[in-house]
Structure 1
Amino acid sequence: MTTLAAIAERAAAERLAVFGALHQGAGDELDGAGTLILFGPGEPGFWPHLTSQPEWRDGAPDPIDRWSKRVLGGMARDLGGRAIFPSDGPPYPPFFRWALGTGRAWPSPVQLLVHDTAGLMVSYRGAIAIPERLTLPDGPTAAPCKDCAAQPCRTACPAAALTPARYDVTACHAFLDTGAGQDCLSRGCSVRRACPVSDAYGRLAEQSAYHMRRFHP
């Protein structure tokens, strides 16, 4: 019988982690699926593993998405399920709502998702929908923000572009064009890094720099 623990063990071999799971029912987007499992980078070790893969080395576009589709697509076939990716669309799958439905991610004080183990560094490489209704473990009872008295994410943005009140994308890009913005470009968003859970997650600066350059070429 398939178990969530067995799926997590297989994912770990590819430096992926189960970032949550939820049951599907009649009327859901994936009517006919029993369980939807969300995957994110497993740390430490995700970036060195990924950058050793053929998709990273072949020079073709979108290496991370292509790797994710190969790995999670293969897992889905073996499980008799279906792989789903954030880039599928339009219309795009509701990963934000699915993440909330797992009970392991919540809206943070700055509106971004915060995850129980990845903090504000949370990202989803994809999901697998399988027919079985798996037994799911109990999740956290509350977001980590509840016990975070300082909540440094609220004031961490040096450009005041990402705050509890708003995300000013134009101001963010303008700041990244300045000398002071090089810290965010080379190490990742200051707000995401300020989260104590993110700090313990183990994501490498090289990975954050890659994604920042995709966001701000």
Structure 2
Amino acid sequence: MILSRGTVEEIAAALAANGLILRGGFSFGDDETAPAGFSGGPARSVLLIGQAGAVPWPHFQRWRERQARDIANPLDSWSREVIGAVAQEFGARAVSPSDRPYLPFQQWAMRAERLKPSPLGILMHPTYGLWHAYRGALLFEDELPFPEAHEAIHLCDTCVDKPCLKSCPVDAYSGQGFAHEACLGHVRGHSGEPCRSGGCLDRNACPYGTDYRYPPEVQAFHMAAFAKL
């Protein structure tokens, strides 16, 4: 797939140097309001960038050792730096899930990879399970010829027991949605130590994609960021 400044394969190779991967993409329709591209005109295509498992973690850790210890949102800052450099090299605009106003990253991901949300809200991947993430996207003013995305098997439909809804001590996830305050209070409290050190019990109870499960130190990092510990 050829761009005006390189190929998608070259972009994938540049991202792989930091443990990141392409997560699919699509071209915006003529009737859609697309975000701005590199030069300010409407983007024609988007490539999603993310991770499978914890492959980027060593790259992030080496970067973090060179930064001030009190840097805010270090993983977000690292992702912006890495993806921004790739965007500059290939003539794209880099965007992040934390940009304001928020861009519809989850809708983009569902469209690009044909995934559906799990009961925890995280998109269920047929290979990675719940152990993946989207770190950013590249917006191009070229219209890229993406192959048609095929419907992915939704593993949650095959899961009868739903252990992801039975492992949390405060029932943070239910048919009524996510009980944010109950979860936060538990994680910050004395009884929340297993969650702080090893990650969300509901997420870890999911039987799919376990080969890609984040190591405990990675889960502890994300939990500390959630709880602002």
SS at structure 2 position matched to 1:196: coil
User: CA shift at 1:190, angstroms?
Assistant: 1.3
Aligned to 1:114: 124
Q: Is 1:79 paired with 2:83? A: no
Larger CA deviation: 18-27 vs 110-119? 110-119
Distance 1:151 1:200, change over 3 A: farther
State the distance in 2 between where 1:147 and 1:35 align.
33
Distance 1:56 1:62, change over 3 A: farther
Q: Percent identity of the aligned residues?
A: 34
Q: Is 1:206 paired with 2:217? A: yes
State the distance in 2 between where 1:128 and 1:55 align.
27
Aligned to 1:28: 33
Distance 1:151 1:176, change over 3 A: same
Structure number with higher relative contact order (C-alpha < 8 Å, ≥ 6 residues apart): 2
State the distance in 1 between where 2:121 and 2:54 align.
26
- Conserved 8 A contact 2:52-2:128: no
- Conserved 8 A contact 2:52-2:131: no
Which of residues 65, 68, 80 in structure 1 aligns to 2:79?
A: 68
Larger CA deviation: 193-202 vs 122-131? 193-202
Q: Please report the RMSD computed on the Cα atoms of aligned residues, expressed in angstroms.
A: 2.3
Ranges in structure 1 where 5+ consecutive residues have no aligned partner: none
Ranges in structure 2 where 5+ consecutive residues have no aligned partner: 37-41
Q: Is 1:50 paired with 2:45? A: no
Aligned to 2:112: 102
User: CA shift at 1:154, angstroms?
Assistant: 2.3
Cα deviation per residue 1:66-119 (whole Å; 9 max; x = unaligned)? 211111111111221110011211x21111211221134312133333234433
SS at structure 1 position matched to 2:83: helix
User: CA shift at 1:43, angstroms?
Assistant: 3.3
Distance 1:86 1:118, change over 3 A: same
SS at structure 2 position matched to 1:101: helix
Larger CA deviation: 162-171 vs 117-126? 117-126
User: CA shift at 1:148, angstroms?
Assistant: 2.9
The amino acid of 2:204's aligned partner reads R
User: CA shift at 1:177, angstroms?
Assistant: 3.2
TM-score, scaled to structure 1: 0.86
How many residues align? The count is: 216
Q: Is 1:11 paired with 2:21? A: no
